[in-house]
Amino acid sequence: LSNIIREQGKQSLYETVRVTSAMCAALAEAHGLGIVHRDLKPQNILFGSVGATKLPKLADFGIAKWSADTEDSGQRAEDTAIVAGQKLAMYSPSWAAPEQLAGQPVSAATDIYSLACVAVYMLSTKAIFADEDVYAGYKKRRHADELVREALRPHNVPRGVMDLLAHALMFDPKKR
C-alpha cells in the first residue's frame, strides 16, 4: 500500500473503503483468535492479484501477541529490542495507538486505531502522527479529532467518514 500511495497519490473513498474493509475482516479473524497485530501500517498491507483485481492482504504478524497474555511467559513478542545498545520500538510509532506508545496493554482497539491512521493516509497521503519525537506524537494523539479533520477537509471527504475515523482515533481505547 505504501508503494501505491507513493506512486498514485491519495486514494478514492471507494478504494479506501475496499482496502480497510478487507483489513477489518482480517483483523476480525485475528482478534477472534485472540491475536493483536500491533504493527498495522501501509507497508504491511500487501496486494495479490486475481486477474485485474488487487486483493489486499494483511502481512507481517512478526510482533503480534495473544491478547490473553497477562504476563510475559517468554513466548510473546516483545515491544522493544536492544540494538547496538539502544532500546528500539519493534512497532512503527507513526501508526501506533497511544496505549502502545505508553507501554500499556494492547487490545483489538489498538489495531483499530492503527487502521484508522492508515485510512486517513490513504485519503490524504498525510501520516498525521509522523513525528520524529515520539513524545510529541504521543501528545498530538490527544487532538486526533482536529488532525483528522484538518487532513481530510481539503479532500472533500464526507463528514460521516471524518466522524468515523475521529471516533476510531479516540485517545481512550475503551471509547473507540
Q: Which of 110, 113, 90 is nearest to 100 (CA)?
A: 110
Structure confidence at residue 103 (pLDDT): 87
Catalytic residue of the set 39, 69, 145, 163: 39
3-state secondary structure 44-109: HEEEEEECCEEEEEECCCCCCEECCCCCCCCCCCCCEEEECCEEEECCCHHHCCHHHHCCCCCCHH
The torsion angles phi and psi of 93, rounded to 5 degrees, stand at -55, -30
Structure confidence at residue 25 (pLDDT): 97
Please count the other Cβ atoms lying within 10 Å of the Cβ belonging to residue 1.
19
Across-strand partners of 57?
A: 46
Mean pLDDT by 10 residues, the chain (176 residues): 96 98 96 92 94 90 57 44 46 88 92 98 96 86 96 97 98 96
For 21-65, the pLDDT digits (tens) are: 999 999 999 999 899 998 999 999 999 988 888 999 999 765 665
Report the predicted TM-score, pTM, of the whole model to 2 decimal places. 0.85
Active site residue 172: no
* Total number of residues shown for the chain: 176
Structure confidence at residue 90 (pLDDT): 52
